């Protein structure tokens, strides 16, 4: 157990109470039209693994809100409540998503702050490159890669994550069901795995 605690200690720069970072994406590279809003309630379960053991770490629920700013940009806000056995924490992230290749490739640039009831706050940037590949008129594939960069602590946690999501919904985008799975590579050969699902809704 002491070995596990030592390995998890660097994560404090991103999430001071929880034992695992938040690294799901649950979105596509498609851009919202100017003035249009998308709301995505979502839930995630996360597991820890190293050479010696693996176990379930945490669950969290939250939502993302996207607002179209222009044909090539949108602003996204995210909130997550992380549930643990005896405590919890919160994560808020906000930043632009920029269309690089229309409907195919986008760059998301959120700044995240994690905080708990004791008043501690930790900041990190989590740039993500998101791609979208249509499979049919109702199905699309959304792979992404994300890197965590601590802002307020040079020795804070850094991690590289890969996510693979699906989108099930009509081409007009009124709703999209988003199952997703991902892996994050952490220091000391630690890995995290996440399984998520979201439901994107665009009020008309």
Q: What is the pTM of this model?
A: 0.86
Contact 50, 57 (CB under 8 A): no
Query: Which has more pLDDT, 38 or 51?
Result: 38
Q: Mean pLDDT across the stretch 35-48?
A: 95
Could you please report the per-residue DSSP string of 78-136?
Answer: EEEEEE-SS-EEEEEEEEEEEEEETTTEEEE--EEEEE-TT--EEEEE--EEEE-EE-S
pLDDT of residue 1: 32
pLDDT of residue 85: 67
CA distances from 49 to 5, 28, 81 (A): 13, 28, 22
pLDDT of residue 48: 87
Give the 3-state secondary structure of residue 3. helix
pLDDT of 155 over the 70 cut:
no
Contact 21, 171 (CB under 8 A): no
pLDDT of 14 over the 50 cut:
no
CATH superfamily of 2-201: Calycin beta-barrel core domain (2.40.128.20)
pLDDT of 60 over the 50 cut:
yes
pLDDT of residue 157: 64
pLDDT of residue 190: 85
Please give the mean pLDDT across all residues of the chain: 86
Q: Report domain extents, the chain.
A: 2-201
Task: Return the top range by mean pLDDT from 49-63, 69-83, 104-118.
Answer: 69-83
188-200 pLDDT, tens digit per residue, is 788 999 999 999 9
Q: 155: which DSSP letter?
A: T
pLDDT of residue 173: 76
């Amino acid at each position: 157990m002491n070995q596990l605690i030592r390995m998890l200690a660097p994560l404090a720069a991103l999430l001071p109470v929880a034992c695992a970072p938040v690294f799901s994406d649950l979105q596509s590279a498609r851009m919202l039209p100017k003035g249009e809003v998308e709301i995505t309630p979502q839930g995630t379960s996360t597991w820890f693994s190293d050479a010696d053991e693996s176990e379930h770490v945490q669950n969290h629920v939250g939502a993302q809100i996207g607002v179209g700013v222009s044909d090539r940009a949108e602003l996204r806000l995210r909130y997550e409540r992380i549930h643990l056995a005896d405590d919890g924490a919160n994560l808020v992230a906000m930043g632009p998503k920029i269309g690089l290749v229309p409907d195919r490739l986008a760059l998301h640039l959120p700044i995240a702050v994690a905080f708990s009831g004791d008043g501690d706050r930790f900041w990190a940037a989590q740039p993500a490159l998101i791609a979208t590949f249509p499979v049919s008129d109702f199905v699309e594939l959304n792979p992404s890669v994300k890197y965590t960069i601590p802002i307020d602590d040079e020795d804070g946690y850094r991690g590289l994550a890969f996510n693979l999501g699906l989108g099930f919904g009509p081409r007009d985008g009124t709703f999209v069901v988003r199952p997703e799975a991902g892996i994050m590579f952490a220091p000391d050969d630690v890995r995290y795995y996440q399984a998520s699902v979201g439901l994107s809704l665009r009020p008309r």
